[in-house]
Structures are given as C-alpha cells and as structure tokens.
Structure 1
Amino acid sequence: MANTRVLVVGAGIAGPVLAIFLKIKGYDPIVYERLPSPGESGLSFLLQPNGLRVLSLIPGLLEQIPGHSPDRMIHCSSLDGKEDILVDNDISPDTMRERFGFPLIGVRRAEFQRLLIDTAEKHGIEIKWGHQAIEFEQSEDAVEVTFANGIKDTASFVVGCDGLHSNTRIALFGKEKASFTGLAQFGGLSPTPPALQGKFALVNHYGNGRHMVSYPVAEDKHSWAITTRETEVKEDWKIQHIEQQNEIRGGPLSDWGFGAGDLVKTGQKIVKYGLYDRPELKSWFKGRIVLLGDAAHPTSPHLGQGANQAFEDIYHIMRLLKKYNPSASQLSTELLSQVFIDYQVLRLPRTSELVRRARQQGEARVIEGIDACRVRDEKIRTESHDDAARMAYYELLSGPFKNNEM
C-alpha cells in the first residue's frame, strides 16, 4: 500500500524540516515552493535551545549547521555621548548546554535554508520550485491543490508552511489587513568590527529612539538589525539600492558606540522593512489543511523566536500524528481533525503570548527622549536580576519537550 501523501507548501525554513520528519515517520511528503529557486532573501536568525532541541531529532543535522555561537550577551546604552554597559551575561555554549542542553547559534538564513534543502533531498524528498499554490479543493479523503502555472496535485492533507505572506492562510481564511506597527527595521551583514574582535557577543545596543541587535554568524562576520520609529515602510525585505545603502552607512547611526557604528558603516546587502501586525487567528485549520509557523502566528522579531516556534509547531504536530496514527496510514477527516484540534489547543495560547511579548519588547526598546531612555536602561539593568523574568526565559528555552514523544 502506498504511503500517505502529504503536500507541504513552502520550502523556506519550516517546510523542509517538517518534510524530513514526515519522511522519517513513514509518510510520503512533497514540498512545493512559489520561488523559482533557493534565494538570498532574509539576513539571519538565532537558533535557540528550544528550536535546536527539535532539530536534534534529525540524525546528524546539528553537526552541519553553519554559524557561530556567542559567548556573552551584552546590553549597552549610548545616550548623549555617554556609553554604559547595562548587563553582561555568560551565554557561552558550555553554559547554555549545562542549563538547556543546547547552545545559541547565529546562522545566515540562506546558508541554513540550503542545508535543510540538501538534507531533505538526501532523505528522498522532492522539492518543486516555481509552484505558487492558489487554490485548494477538499474532498472526503484528499485535497487537490492548483498552482499558478496550471499544475495540480493531490494529497491526503496539506500543511501551509508558506510564511508571512501565506497563500494557504489566505485560501483558508481570506485576505487580512496588515497594520503597520510604527516600527521599521534595517539590517545587514558586516565584518566583525574592532570593538568586537575576539568577543563573540550577542549585543543589544540601546539609543534614543533606536535599538540594534547584533551577533556573530561566522568567525569574522556579524549580522545586525536596527529598529526605529518611522512613517510607514513596505514589508518586502528587499535589499536597498546602492544609494540607499550608502545613505544608511554614512548616516548618524555610523557614529554609534560599542562597535555598532562600525557595523553600519561596513554593512553589506542592507535591507529595510516595516513591521506589521496581523489579526490573531482563532483556528489554524479547515478540514484537511493546517497552518504552521509564520503562516499561523506571524510575529515581530524582537524575541528571535520565529523559526524556533515553527520547530516547536513541527514537534507537536508530528507527536500528535504518531499518537493518533502510529502506522502513518491514510487518515479519516475525523481523525485528522483530532490531530489538528489538539495541535492548536496546545500551540495557540503559547504562540499568541509570545507574539504579544515580542511586540511589547519592541515597543519597550525603542523609546524616545533622553529621560525616558534612562528609565528604560535602568529597567534593563534591574530586570537582569528579576527571578520571574529569568524563570520565563528558562521556561521558553526548555521547550517543547523533556522526553521525546515523537
């Protein structure tokens, strides 16, 4: 009997990982991606222990991850020409492994995506590029997907892993209005500046009306992103024209202390994008189609949990498939609905809370006015000793399981 066919929409970060787990567990996944090939879009992100805990269940993957781990987490402030270190914590790989079992790893998105695609293909998973899903027609035991190029395919069920601008989400729940948060980000990749030579540090730089986060993604390269308040900016993540990049490199942020200004001055492939909110969904599935990752719960980047929460989604959906369908056989709509209901009952509250916390974090970081910034800085200093904040951080990084039930 043929294996249960699953159609995964999206070959970004979550899609290939889900497909690998499906293949390992006896399903027959196929991945469709609207882009013509793996791209260079996006800069980087931080793989955190909760995400790495899930990835560790794919044999041999962690050892191949291209990137670099920070040793310190430093919060520093530059106000009125005065530079001050607010917090300096040990987050070295040894320390993080002792606390959580896994380190932090800064990775360039394009390199990490290529690793995931290569790994998926080595598992015998087909990835079809240049296929934009536009229509989903459900029957009693299958879903037929139509792509913009006229091709159709059918599977037992469909998982939408197609990110922030998810066509699967639109097909299920209609087009929503995204509201601009008033915050924009721009960022790039830069050679490690003199101030950070030999210091593999994750640095939060705070200024008047701006915040920068930077971290190593290689021995000699840092990724950085600056959040500011601006009038509406497009949400397109496109690399700026050379004139716009030069304007950023030579602008006022190039004088920022603690190495932040040097990162700006030497920035490569600088992108700029607005941060938008979307309505919170009350459900993530209809019939045989379910959403996962940013397609289900898009978030602002201020907690660095976007990809990591997608991996938590994958763990739980796979755990529930094993619970309700251990033989990986064809599922009735009723049984599949039970998987999806349990999945969203567990994941919706957690991800909704993290979306809110990320939004609050962004607002709290980008404070305007010197006096208000000094209050912010003092709060950052004191929160590093706050037991409740520390426990919330430990709880976040300790997920999504202690004993693997997948």
Structure 2
Amino acid sequence: MTGTKVIIAGGGVAGPVLGILLKRKGYDPIIYERLDAPTDMGLSLALQPNGLKVLSLIPDLIEKIPKREISETLLWSSLPEDERQLAHYEMPIKGLAGYGVNGARRPALLRTLIEEAQAQGVPVKFGHQLESFEQHEDSVTVQFANGTTDTASFVVGCDGLHSDTRVTLFGKEPVSFTGLTQTGGISPFPEAFRTKGMAPMFNIYGNGVHMIGYPVNENEISWAITQREAEAKENWRHMDEEQQKEFKQGPHSSLPFGGGELVRTAGRIVKYGLYDRPELSTWHKGRVVLIGDAAHPTSPHLGQGANQALEDCYHLTRLLLVHNPTGASPSTELLSTVFTEFETLRIARTSDLVKRARQQGEIRVISGVEACKKRNETVATMYGGPAKADDTALRVLLADLIEHPFKPGESEI
C-alpha cells in the first residue's frame, strides 16, 4: 500500500534526512532538487551532538559519513601586540547519542545523504527547480521550471537561503548581508599540527580578521577567514587561478600558529558573503511548510545551520506521528495543527541562535589594536583561559545544544 505522498523541495542536508525519516514511518516522500547533480561546491560543516543525535535515528548512517571527530579547541591571538594562546579546552562530554563534534566535507556529506535516501527508496529528482504551486482542498500541485508538475498531500520546502518555496509562500524579500565575507579552502594538516599529533578545531583572532579551521578527515583541515568587506555573492564558486594565487601569497599567508601554511597549501579557494534573512512569524501556509535555511538561514559562527535543520527534520516527523499516527493523508486543518506546534517549538530557538551567530561574528571581526586587545580578553574569559574551560558561557551553550533535540516527555521517533 502506498503511503501519503510528500514533496520535499531541496536535496541539501535536510531534504534527504527528512525523506528517510518519513519513509521509515510509512510516508511516500519524493525529493526535488534544483541542481542537475549532487553538488561539489561548498567546504565543510561541523556535525554537533544535537545534529548527530538526529542522524543516529537512521541505522548505520553515521558510520557511512566521511568525518573526523574533534577532541579539543585552541584559540590564539595573531595580533602582533598581543600574540598568544587565549584558551585551550577539551570538547564537552559527548551528548545523548554518544557523539561529540565531527568535521565533515560538505560535498561528501551531501552525497552520502542522497545515496542513503535513494537506497531506502526515496526518489531524488535532480534538475527540478520549484517555480510555483497551487493548493487544493487535500493536496498541492507543484510546477517546476522545466515544465513538469507533481502533486502530493503536502510540501516541505528545505531549499536553502535562496528558497523558491519561501518566495512562493511569502513573496520576494531581500536577503540581509551581514557585512562579513568568508574566504576558505581545504588543506593538508600543517606541519605544527602533525608534529604534535593535533587535530583540533582552532580560532585565530587578528586585527580585522578571524580564521577558523577543523579537521574533516584523517589528512585534511577545512578553514575559513572572515573579514569585513564589500558584499560577495553566496554562490560557493572558487576564485579564478589568478585570484587564488594572489590570496595564497597575500597577508594571510603569514598568519602564525599554522594558519598561514593552511592558506598557502589549499587545493582551491572559495569566497562568499555571509547572509541571513528577516525572521518569519510563521513558516507555513496551508499545506506547505518551510524548514532549515529556507525558514531560518544563519551566519556560520556557531556552526548550527545544518544541525538546526536536522532538529527541524526530527520535530516535524515526530509531530506528524503524534497528530497523525496512521500516516493517512492529513486534512489541511490537521496539518495546520502540526505546523503551528512545530513553529511554536522551533521559531524561538532558531531565532535565538541566528542572533547569537551574528553576535559571534561581530565579536570575532574587530579592527584596531586596543579594540582587539579588549576582544582577546573577552574571548579568553568566555572560553575559560589557557586552562580547560569550566563554567563558562560556552559550556552553557554547548550543554544546551547537546540536550536538544530530545527533551523530557518527548518520545523518540
């Protein structure tokens, strides 16, 4: 017997995971992705305990993802007037699923998720960009830019920052450039790390610049340098050869603590602007709902974009099971109940994290020697100083992330 059909717009992190979770609960999801094939663009992401907890609901999936666990974090100041280690701490106790923080190359993760969805019977249709949809009493018909259509009981838009589903639901709105850009790449472990047997997440705080990096496998580190610059579009395409050469030989090539070596040895360099969008008061209309970056895009300074999308996948699936345990095609009224409860649970949490991420970006990228010195003291205090962090604001935040998405009284799916 065929289950209730669900159209999922977007084949990034959230789409395949939601598709698998729904398929395992008797629904009949189909994923439509605007790109013609799985993307090789983008650098990396940090899978944190809250996101890994969701992935652990899919048997054997986590073991298939190419990744590297991160056991410690180092923070340095590259300011010539204050060059030193600011803090060093071990990553927090592993979360509910027994996982810590893991770095992963984004293209490798996306390929793994798509392949797993297909293996579990979730069709993935590439080259289908959502253009419009028409809602009916008990279904939604989606029109794609290539001229094809499809109809399902309801639609979930998880098609990212430039979400066509969001535009169709709520109209065009400007994305908000944060004033910051990132330039990054993937590089071999620097000599200093190899010699000391280190594979940390690290932060280097400079004058008007911040660098972050972490391992994504046994041999490579992903890194990104944040600066306050003119707007650069978020298209994830690498610079041309001349621009890459110029960057690799530029001022960042002399960053201390291994940062400069990473810049010089990168395989390719990409540059992109950092954006978010205005907060929405609702994520749904009728039989269509948004999740992930389509609903709450964020700058990357807390590393929670993908992890919050995974929390969305979990809670949307859980609430569908709570309110529609048979999996029968739900009425619009029932979907409204599910989507409204979902929003009540998720909007406040994701909005807070979007704001915190922006604040982190502002703290990291400060110009002027005296202002940077003050920033360094703030960072050292926030992260517990050179010794292990203990009862710091960082620990409180990480403990909160570990606790989610499962709360007392919530049944696992």
Superposed CA deviations along residues 67-98 of structure 1, whole A, max 9, x for unmatched, are 1112210011111165311111112xxx6327
Alpha-carbon distance change, 248 to 388 in structure 1, aligned in 2, over 3 angstroms: closer
Counterpart of 1:248, as a letter, is F
Aligned residue in 1 for 2:412: 405
Alpha-carbon distance change, 99 to 341 in structure 1, aligned in 2, over 3 angstroms: closer
Superposition deviation, residue 382 in structure 1: 1.0
Normalized against structure 2, the TM-score is what? 0.95
Contact 2:53–2:96 at 8 Å: present in 1 too?
no
Contact 1:100–1:398 at 8 Å: present in 2 too?
no
Among the aligned pairs, what percent are the same residue?
Answer: 56
Aligned-residue Cα RMSD (Å) equals 1.4
C-alpha distance in 2 between matches for 1:346 and 1:275: 26
C-alpha distance in 2 between matches for 1:20 and 1:291: 17
C-alpha distance in 2 between matches for 1:166 and 1:237: 16
**What is the number of residues matched between the two proteins?**
403
Superposed CA deviations along residues 191-242 of structure 1, whole A, max 9, x for unmatched, are 1111211201000111000101100011110000110011222222211111
Aligned residue in 1 for 2:112: 115
Superposed CA deviations along residues 297-344 of structure 1, whole A, max 9, x for unmatched, are 000000000000000011110110010011111100000110000000
Whether 1:26 aligns to 2:26 is yes
Segment of structure 1 superposing worse, 154-163 or 383-392: 383-392
Whether 1:65 aligns to 2:76 is no
Aligned residue in 1 for 2:325: 326
Match of 1:390 among 391, 395, 407: 395
Counterpart of 1:325, as a letter, is N
Contact 2:10–2:160 at 8 Å: present in 1 too?
yes
Contact 2:49–2:96 at 8 Å: present in 1 too?
no
Normalized against structure 1, the TM-score is what? 0.97
Match of 2:179 among 175, 182, 200: 182
Gaps of 5+ in 2: 385-390
C-alpha distance in 1 between matches for 2:338 and 2:291: 13
Aligned residue in 2 for 1:138: 135
Counterpart of 2:208, as a letter, is G
Counterpart of 2:405, as a letter, is P
How does 1:4-403 map onto structure 2 within 5 Å? 4-80=4-80, 83-91=83-91, 96-97=93-94, 101-197=98-194, 198-385=197-384, 386-402=391-407
Counterpart of 2:42, as a letter, is G
Contact 1:71–1:199 at 8 Å: present in 2 too?
no
Contact 2:292–2:308 at 8 Å: present in 1 too?
yes
Superposition deviation, residue 2 in structure 1: 3.1
Aligned residue in 1 for 2:388: none
Gaps of 5+ in 1: none
Contact 1:192–1:222 at 8 Å: present in 2 too?
yes
Contact 2:50–2:95 at 8 Å: present in 1 too?
no
C-alpha distance in 2 between matches for 1:98 and 1:236: 34
Superposition deviation, residue 243 in structure 1: 0.7
